[in-house]
Amino acid sequence: MNVDIFFGIPYAQPPVGNLRFEKTVPLIQNETQTIYALEQPKVCVQHHRLDNWTWDWYQYSEDCLYLNLFSPHKIEGQVENLLPILVLIYTGGFETQSMRRYKDFEDIGRKYLSKGILVIAVQFRIGFLGFSSIGNPHQQLDGNFGYWDIAEALNWIKLNVKSFGGDPGRITLFGYSAGSTAVTTLGISPHTRDLFQQSIQMSGSIFTSRAANDRVISVSNHLFTELGCISSTTEQLKECLKTKDIEEYFDAMDIIVGN
């Protein structure tokens, strides 16, 4: 069958510079801009350095909030019913991986597109850039930035998916392992639970001691200390964190992972 694949559609403003460690900022709509969705975007920064062979395949960037969209080929002028949507949330323990794991396009076409299902893979911040937290919900570094990314992607999908032949009233969120944990979390959050209608959760859940504990706070504080960002206020801490190069984060994570 013929399919349409759109690589690297931006769904939010790049979380770079002053937007590092901030909640996801919606994309500024520009009806005159043309996006050439022909190439896979770079993956999000991983939680620590990976083997060299891995990076030979996938270059990373903080500018990584994109989605890939797969749909049955549309014939111009032909009226068709809107299709249900399957949104894929990748695994990787919220530390590694990207939407590039969904690379078997023939398999996606055979299992989903041939059955009239539109598929969207979402990329979101992970690791120290996606989930660092000082543990205080009343402060400005309360973490879960990766979840906010997915929330904004779902907002974008609801607003724009009709243009690709998708039905914004029939969205199913699918995740395995850590992806399933994300789906559970988004399903009970008042910020996101109305952005999709169904979910498929395999293996992972937020309702486990492994998924819900304060380890992320201790690791975050260790990371901030190794970076030399020890400040009396959250604002000063974030200012310091935003000045550090990603290689400095990797150096600090090498120490933490080594311990």
Task: For residues 84 and 200, give the distance between their C-alpha atoms in angstroms, rounded to a whole number.
Answer: 14
> pLDDT-based confidence at 1, cuts 50/70/90?
confident
CATH number at residue 53: 3.40.50.1820
Q: What is the dihedral of CA 10, 150, 86, 27, to 10 degrees?
A: -30
Spatial neighbors of 53 by CB under 8 A, at least 6 apart, are: none
pLDDT in tens, 184-227: 999 999 999 999 999 999 988 877 766 566 888 999 999 999 99
Question: What pLDDT is recorded for position 109?
Answer: 86
β-pair partners for 12:
26
Nearest residue to 95 (alpha-carbon basis) of 146, 47, 42, 129? 47
In a domain, 239, yes or no: no
Q: Per the structure, how many domains does the chain have?
A: 1
Provide mean pLDDT across the span 163-189: 94
Q: Which residue has the tokens 């311990």?
A: 259
**Residue 61: which H helix or E strand, with range?**
strand 60-61
Q: Name the pTM for this structure.
A: 0.91
In a domain, 240, yes or no: no
In a domain, 254, yes or no: no
In a domain, 101, yes or no: yes
Provide mean pLDDT across the span 169-181: 94
How many H helices and E strands in the chain? 8, 8
| Res. 56: pLDDT tops 70 | no
In a domain, 114, yes or no: yes
* Of the candidate ranges 124-133, 171-180, 202-211, the one whose mean pLDDT is the lowest: 202-211
| Phi/psi of residue 218, nearest 5 degrees | -65, -40
Provide mean pLDDT across the span 25-33: 86
At 119, which amino acid appears? Answer: V
Percent of residues, the chain, with pLDDT higher than 70: 91
In a domain, 246, yes or no: no
Provide mean pLDDT across the span 107-112: 88
Question: What pLDDT is recorded for position 103?
Answer: 79
Q: How far is CA 239 from the centre of its chain?
A: 24
Nearest residue to 165 (alpha-carbon basis) of 101, 239, 70? 70
Asked if 61 and 46 touch (Cβ cutoff 8 Å), the reply is no
In a domain, 186, yes or no: yes
For residue 214 the two structure tokens come to 């304060």
Q: What integer best gives the mean pLDDT of the chain?
A: 88
* Of the candidate ranges 31-35, 81-85, 156-160, the one whose mean pLDDT is the lowest: 31-35
For residue 226 the two structure tokens come to 């190794």
| Res. 116: pLDDT tops 70 | yes
β-pair partners for 70:
5, 119
| Res. 131: pLDDT tops 80 | yes
In a domain, 82, yes or no: yes
β-pair partners for 3:
72
Domain that holds residue 81: 3-212
Question: What pLDDT is recorded for position 98?
Answer: 83
